[in-house]
Amino acid sequence: MFCLLTLPFHLALGVLFLPFLLIRVFVKILIALIMIPIALLTAAFTVGVGLLIVGLLLAIPLTPFLLIGLFVWAVVRLTSRPAYVR
């Protein structure tokens, strides 16, 4: 019953505050259009740095094997005869 009695006031205030509600929606959409690309770029940068760190963490224990292979390659290259070129 109380809602029916105050209905004209609700309608009048709703009409008065409609422009402010529309401005609020417009500002929220504008902020979302600005912030979404920034958030996506930040997320992509963070994922890239994370993948780089994981790659380095996996590669660091393999460096002794890489150095041994490089040493063997250098010794074989230095001790082998050069190819005959015409």
Radius of gyration of the chain (CA): 35
What pTM was estimated for this model as a whole? 0.56
Average pLDDT value for residue range 2-31: 88
Residue 10 pLDDT > 80, yes or no? yes
Reply yes or no on whether the pLDDT at 25 is more than 90. yes
Q: What is the pLDDT of residue 13?
A: 84
Distance separating alpha carbons of residues 19 and 21, to the nearest angstrom: 5
Q: Residue 33: which pLDDT band, with cuts at 50, 70 and 90?
A: very high
pLDDT of res. 52: 97
Checking if the pLDDT of 49 tops 80, the result is yes
Question: How many Å apart are CA 77 and CA 13, to the nearest integer?
Answer: 89
